[in-house]
Amino acid sequence: MIVVTTPTGQIGREVVTRLLDAHVGSAPVRVIVRDPAALTPQVRERVEVVQGSHADPAVLKEACQDADRVFWLVPPTPGADSVEGHFRAFTEPLCEVVEARGPGRVVAVSTMGRGTARSAGQISASLAMDDAIAATGVHYRALCPPSLMENVLHQIASVRDAGVFSTTQVPDRVLRLCATRDVAATAARLLLDDSWTGQEDVPLASADDLTPEGVAGVLSEVFDRPVRARFEDSADHRARMIRFGATEAWAQGLADMMDAQNAQGIYGAAQPTTPDLAPTGFRQWCEEVLKPAALRR
């Protein structure tokens, strides 16, 4: 039995699809979801559903009964009162289930930055999650993407209508990227493989070598209009996130994360690319995902 968290999210949804599309005879799939109606009818009829949050110990225990593999993702929650507390609230119940002879393998979405990140907000909290899960002794794979290409989806209107791509990344620094579909593909492959053991990080970064100006150049070509990169400092970004409803703690975590990225190179050019595991390039993603999304809106 494979348990999947966040089955309606960008990554979790595709993990479920890939697992269900796998060869006949693969393990059955059980999902944890707050609202089962959010699943497509095609998914609902092919999976077991446990309703609730995977931060709820009782829900997680029920979902992991007789399961041997778990896909784990702590959902970003701008309304959280504490970044570290939010990650702990999800991770501690998982550790308890695993230590009680629960699932023997966990595949989680984490982040690049191990050994580099210091006081880096959500990045540091995610790496602390890895440490806590690994301390249980479970066989563990931490999927470690850098900045997700899907973050640009939040800027569709600005890119399409105003020709502006906003970024907190220092203009002349390379920013490593990854598409969520490549994260999902790697997760599904590992979940379908019951032979791996031990604990490892799995870096996931496309072959792109783009600065913010380079990103803007690709956007210009794909949208056939000039697009410029506009630098936004972390304080301005923090204030904007609060205006959109984020708590001060969550917004400050994002600001700390952005400052750490610029100062410490967490997602910078020194990080390796892994095109075999993250084959989707940024231009390809823009043509296949971003531009069609812009035309639909």
In CATH, what number is assigned to the domain containing residue 54? 3.40.50.720
53 pLDDT above the threshold of 90: yes
Strand partners, 167: 231
Write out the two tokens for 230. 């506009």
What pLDDT, on the 0 to 100 scale, is given for residue 171?
84
In a domain, 89, yes or no: yes
d(CA 219, CA 119): 32
d(CA 6, CA 77): 12
In a domain, 244, yes or no: no
- 55: domain range? 2-148+178-203
In a domain, 213, yes or no: no
d(CA 111, CA 87): 13
In a domain, 168, yes or no: no
Provide the domain count of the chain.
1
In a domain, 36, yes or no: yes
* Ramachandran angles phi, psi of 137, nearest 5°: 90, 0
Pairing of strands 177-178, 29-33: unpaired
d(CA 255, CA 247): 12
Strand partners, 229: 165
Name the DSSP class of 116: T
Q: How far is CA 34 from CA 8, 9, 87, 102, in A?
A: 10, 12, 18, 22
What pLDDT, on the 0 to 100 scale, is given for residue 77?
94
The structure's pTM equals 0.94
In a domain, 221, yes or no: no
* Average pLDDT value for residue range 144-155: 95
What pLDDT, on the 0 to 100 scale, is given for residue 257?
94
Compute how many other C-beta atoms are within 10 angstroms of the C-beta atom of residue 156.
Answer: 16
In a domain, 43, yes or no: yes
d(CA 17, CA 207): 26
pLDDT tens digits, one per residue of 199-228: 999 999 999 999 999 999 999 999 999 999
- Please classify residue 131 by burial: count the beta carbons closer than 10 Å to its beta carbon, then call 0-12 exposed, 13-18 middle and 19+ buried: exposed
What pLDDT, on the 0 to 100 scale, is given for residue 115?
85
In a domain, 162, yes or no: no
What pLDDT, on the 0 to 100 scale, is given for residue 47?
95
